[in-house]
Structures are given as C-alpha cells and as structure tokens.
Structure 1
Amino acid sequence: MGDALEKQRRVTLTDIARACGVSRATVSLVLRRSPLVHAETRRRVEAEMRRQSYVYNRAAANLRQRVSTTVALVINDLSNPFFAEFAAGVDEALGAKGYVTLLGSSNESPERQRQVLASMMEHHPAGIILSPAENSDVADVELAIGRHAPLLVFNRELTGPPVPGFEYDFLGLDNRAGARAATTRLLELGHRRIAFYGGHADSSSCRERRLGYQDALSGAGIAVDQRLMIETAPTLLEANAHADALFAMDPAPTAAVCYNDAVALGLMLGLTRLGRRPGVDFAVTGFDNIPEAAVGMPPLTTLDADPRARGRQVAELILQRAAAPSMPRRSVIVPVLLTERDSTPHA
C-alpha cells in the first residue's frame, strides 16, 4: 500500500499526457483553464487526472513561472470583529482577481509574527499584507520576509529605525482626526469630564487616537487629566473587566471615547454591570463601525472605518505593487466619519 501511495505522489503532467495521447503543453493548458483546448480534449484530460489522482503542485509551478497566485495576510488579532470584516474584504478582492489568501495571525506577539511570516514566505506569495502586532520592529519584519517581497502595512506603523533598501506601502486610518471628531461631539453635547478608554499607549494607532482626543479637549480650553486616559487590552472582555476604573476618581467622567468598538461594547457591558445605563447615564463612542456596533444595547456611536472596504483596498494596492515593484512607496491615510447613534446622550 505504501508503494501505491508513493506512486500516486509521483504522478506528473507527462504521465497524464502520455495516457491521453496529447502533449504535456496541452495538459498544462487544461490546468490553466485555457480556452484554446477543445472541450472533448479537456474532458479526457480531466478524467485521466481523476483516474490517476493527480494533484497539481502549484508552488512548484509558481517557481518555474516566477509567478504566484497567493497573497499572505497576517492579522494581529483575529478575535476582533474588525479584522474578520477586513479579512473578508481582502479575500473578496483577491478572489475576484484569481488569487488565494493565505491567512495567519500573530495574536499581538512579534515573535509569533516572525514565525508566521517566515512560514508564509515558503509559499512564495505574490505579496504580503501585514496588520502588525504591537511593537513590531521594522528590522524583524525585513529579516522574516527579505528586502524585496512586496509588502503593505495596515494601520499601525512599524517601530525602530528604517532599514536601508527596505521599502513598503502603508495604508492607515485617520486615527487622530477621528478621535478628535468623537471628542468634539461629546463636548458639544455638554460633557466636560471625558475619558479616553482602552488600548495600549505604545501602539501607534492608540497614540494617534489619544492625540486627537487631547486636541479636542485643548481646543475647548479643558486641561487634559492623565488619570482619564485608561489603558486596557483592546478587547471586549478587558474593557468590561476594568470599567470600574472610570469611577475610582472624583469627579467621575460622564463620557468615554473608546479606542475601538470592541472596547466600547465591553465598556457598555461593564457600565450595566455597575448599575449605570450606557446611553442614559453615560456616553460612549467607539471606533471602526463593526457590524455589531449598530445592534449594541444601545446602538453605538462610532467612527466608520468601513473595514470590509479597507480590506478590498489593501488587496488592490498589494496587487498593484506586485505588478510594479519599482513604483514609489505609497502612504495612504483614509478618513473616518462619525456615525451617531443612541450611546451618546446629552450631559
């Protein structure tokens, strides 16, 4: 039985061509779904492939042709609904162009990220889309993927000094302007004690959102109280668990600008647990506009980043880069729009 399995693994295009009485080139055209092959010939070749249990070695073919039909997508947190939507958009756009998405997750670990990237590179992807783990160093990424692989970094900047000769595209959200708009709206509603809740301060996206929050407060003549900037992991469970930190000071805040929607939804659960009514006793804003935001209790005011559209956008950008590796580096910042719902009452 072992000999039979080994024989199956060694079936080649030449074996299929010989059995069908056609050239190896014809079999190759069938695999590529070329319209040049007569329908009856295609039927016979495909039937013979099934009979001999032929498995197409696409990786080897990619190496021979110096092309690839895969794109690597490495996400920092697959548990965040934003990235589920984002990955769906990436796969949707890549699939429309005949590409397959290789999906990996770093779980916010730069060490795990290096392992995942190195493994992805064994498949010789046409490009890499990376939503970096917190504190991802540019030199580590370059070491994992090499200097010439097409790379697009999404939303978080890589840390550390630039590596000469290592270029990559960047697509980010207008984090600072978004958080400024959310804070400004809370000020317009009469709130003066406003917290910035969630996220880690050393993450570039969180740092930018904090700056937008501080911009709005300073513009209104309100001194920034560092105690009102509360760090948590950017997850629903952590935000829920630390909600009582908002009420450990006197006077307590009446509103919070949250790092993302997962944090905002977790905070609203925490407020309810503490006997406070989000959208009535306390105002909450999010960031991302994941589908769950619209059905929160109450529906969540948030910054709309349209994660699925951002996924389609990065897919298009990485394919453009793969097709033209020498084009100048691109950095694209996408505006976000405040979507107001019921979680932001007047003070």
Structure 2
Amino acid sequence: MPRVTLSDVAAASGVSKATVSLVVRDSSRVSAATKARVREAMEQLGYVYDRRAANLRAQRSMTVALVATNVRNPYFAELTMAIERVLYKRGYTLLLGYSHDDQERQTRLLEAMSEHRVDGMLLVPSYDTSGDMLQKSLGASGTPHVLVTRHVPSHQADYIGVDNRAAGQLLGDHLVRSGRQHVAFLGGPPRSTARVEREQGLRTALEGHGLALDPALSIATSADRDGGERAVELLAETGRPYDAIVCYSDVVAFGAISALRARGVEAGREVAVAGFDDVPDAALQHPSLTTVATHPDQTGAEAAELLLRRIEEPDLQPHTVLLTPELKVRESTRSQDGSAPHTPDTR
C-alpha cells in the first residue's frame, strides 16, 4: 500500500499542502479549527510523519531567485507576477534582480543569490551569456535553475519560452498577405536567441512567398523604446525602401512608431509596424499595434512549476517547453493599397 503523503492529507482536509506542513509543525499561523480538521484527516488516512524528509525540507531556505533583464518592460512585470503567485501558494518567497542585459552584472547577481542559499533560480539570460559562464555561476554550486524566454544552446537546463521561429513566421506571412514586400526587422540585442529565432522565422516566411529580408534592414539595438527610436534613425540612414517594420518587441515598436511620427510617417498608412509580446498597451496605441502574443503569464506560471519540480527531483532530465504564439492583427498593419514602399528622406 503506498505511503500516505502530505498531498493526500491536504486533499482530504480541503487545505493546501503548505497548511498541512504548518499543522505538522504546530504553527500558530493556523487556526485551531483548521488544525483539528487536518489532524482528523491524518488519523483517518493513517498518515505517518516522515521525519527524515522533514529534516531535508528544513534545510531549505524557501526562497527562489529571479534574475531578469529589464524591470521597465511590461512583459517582465506580467512574467514576474505570475511566478510570484505560484511560488507564494507553495510557501516560497521570491527574490528579484535585474541584469540590464549586462553579463558581468548578471554573474554578480547569480553569485549573490547563491550566497543567500536560495533553493532555486529562474534566469532570463543576458544576450551574451555562454554555457561556460552559467556552469561557473550555477553548475558548480548545483543550484536548481530554469532558463526563461531565452535559452543558452550550449547549456543543459530546463527551459520555457514561446516558439520564436513560429512567432516570426506568423508576422511575416501576415505582412506579405497584407501586400507588404519590403520588410525591416528592428531592435533587440544582436546575439539574443529570441532575436535570432524571430528573425529566422521572419526570413522563412518571406522566402516562402518568394521574397527576402535585406540584411541592411535588420538592425539590432537595445530592447526598449530608445532602441526603437534609434533603430528608425539607422533605418533611414540606409536609404533603402521599406513598407513594413517588424520590431523585436512591443516596447521597441512603441519607440519606432514615435520616431516615424516625428518624421511625418504614420504607422499603418505608409508603413506597417508590428511587434511581439502583446503587452496591455499594445491594444491602446494609436494606431493599435499588431503583435504576436507570447504569453508572459503562462510562461511565468509554468516556469515556477518547472523549477519547483526540479527542486524536488534534481536528477530529472532537462525539459523544454515551447508555447504556441498567437497573432493579434490590429490597425498598425492595414492592408496595403498598392502604393509604392516608403523611401526615407535622409536629408
């Protein structure tokens, strides 16, 4: 007969596993009525307290670290809230750090989190992170960890993120079917796996329609509004015609739209503009922004569950979860009316 577990007692008494654990320790945080109900379930089920397992659990700090790249991007706000929600329900506290896409800063944060004896880490890697770097920062300490939204090809670890190639293909197909033929890809750090894969998907879609992405129209910058504005400036300097702009993210697209407007170019009319993520402000822009939903809430929740499983079962094989992107068509990519592509005025 299988051993009765805390989960069995929790289900029988209608409380969480964390509450049952508190009752076992006779915590003052649980009411007398709840304690009585849980203890009655224990007796009925024949639950036997496993002190060895409890001692192992007692060695945990019940803290988890998240190191992300940018606190100002709404995508990461949604991601963080989803992670914290799952961890809180399981009795964990979330510690936050931001690398600002700087590898040296990221290394210091990972080392500091390890020194604080966190039970596991969730990492959105900086764009120049290598497998060797992560092995030194995380592998040597044996800290359970999950990579989120960006993977590191040479590092074996659990990973969750959207299927970026499929996301790029969705936008490429949509733009061509809307009559666009000269597509630029703007923003995002140059070696970020998310940028590389989104561009690959975009190229694949264009090639499927007998078109190509001009290398001069692929311009990497920072992944923020300033990066979007700067990318439009660099795009104008190329002198190449374009009738559509795909941006690395919605936030980059917001900056690009502002820069186009400052040049007298209206997104959705002369030039189609699209992004990735579907952050809440995307639908509120003027024009509303066509984008690909990358599901930060689902990503965060499943990332937390992946990490908790890794903490409980550290010897499992690395697991990859790719979420399905979803195209959101809005005003910024109105169908082309047959007019010539926009040629920038570089004067």
| Corresponding position: 1:332 with 2:321 | yes
User: For 2:89, which of 79, 96, 99 is the aligned residue?
Assistant: 96
Matches within 5 A, 1:244-259: 244-259=233-248
Task: Report what 1:225 is aligned to.
Answer: 214
| Contact kept? 2:274, 2:291, Cα under 8 Å | yes
Offset at 1:126? 2.0
Task: Report what 2:72 is aligned to.
Answer: 79
| Contact kept? 2:277, 2:294, Cα under 8 Å | yes
Task: Report what 1:17 is aligned to.
Answer: none
Q: Assess, with a 3 A threshold, how the Cα gap between structure 1 residues 188 and 35 changes in structure 2: closer, same or farther.
A: same
| Alignment-mate amino acid for residue 310 of structure 2 | R
Offset at 1:325? 1.3
| Contact kept? 1:29, 1:37, Cα under 8 Å | no
User: For 2:225, which of 236, 245, 267 is the aligned residue?
Assistant: 236
Matches within 5 A, 1:81-160: 81-145=74-138, 146-158=140-152
Q: Assess, with a 3 A threshold, how the Cα gap between structure 1 residues 214 and 64 changes in structure 2: closer, same or farther.
A: closer
| Alignment-mate amino acid for residue 309 of structure 2 | Q
| Contact kept? 1:135, 1:202, Cα under 8 Å | yes
In structure 1, distance between residues paired with 2:254 and 2:234: 16
| Alignment-mate amino acid for residue 158 of structure 1 | V
Structure 2 residue ranges without an equivalent (≥5):
1-22, 37-53, 337-347
What percent of counterpart residues are identical? 34
TM-score, L = length of structure 1: 0.79
TM-score, L = length of structure 2: 0.79
In structure 1, distance between residues paired with 2:31 and 2:147: 35
| Alignment-mate amino acid for residue 278 of structure 1 | A
The number of equivalent residue pairs is 297
Offset at 1:172? 2.0
User: For 2:162, which of 173, 177, 189 is the aligned residue?
Assistant: 173
Offset at 1:282? 1.2
In structure 1, distance between residues paired with 2:331 and 2:94: 37
| Contact kept? 2:246, 2:273, Cα under 8 Å | yes
Task: Report what 1:46 is aligned to.
Answer: none
User: For 1:67, which of 49, 60, 63 is the aligned residue?
Assistant: 60
| Alignment-mate amino acid for residue 281 of structure 1 | E
Deviation per CA, 1:19-78: give whole Å up to 9, x if none: xxxxxxx9x633664869989xxxxxxxxxxxxxxxxxxxxx999822231111110122
Offset at 1:92? 1.1
In structure 2, distance between residues paired with 1:66 and 1:309: 30
In structure 2, distance between residues paired with 1:75 and 1:223: 34
Runs of 4+ in 1 over 6 A off after TM superposition: 36-39, 61-64
| Contact kept? 2:114, 2:141, Cα under 8 Å | no
| Contact kept? 2:220, 2:231, Cα under 8 Å | no
In structure 2, distance between residues paired with 1:313 and 1:224: 34
In structure 2, distance between residues paired with 1:35 and 1:171: 41
In structure 2, distance between residues paired with 1:125 and 1:31: 25
| Contact kept? 1:254, 1:283, Cα under 8 Å | yes
Offset at 1:290? 0.9
Q: Assess, with a 3 A threshold, how the Cα gap between structure 1 residues 133 and 251 changes in structure 2: closer, same or farther.
A: closer
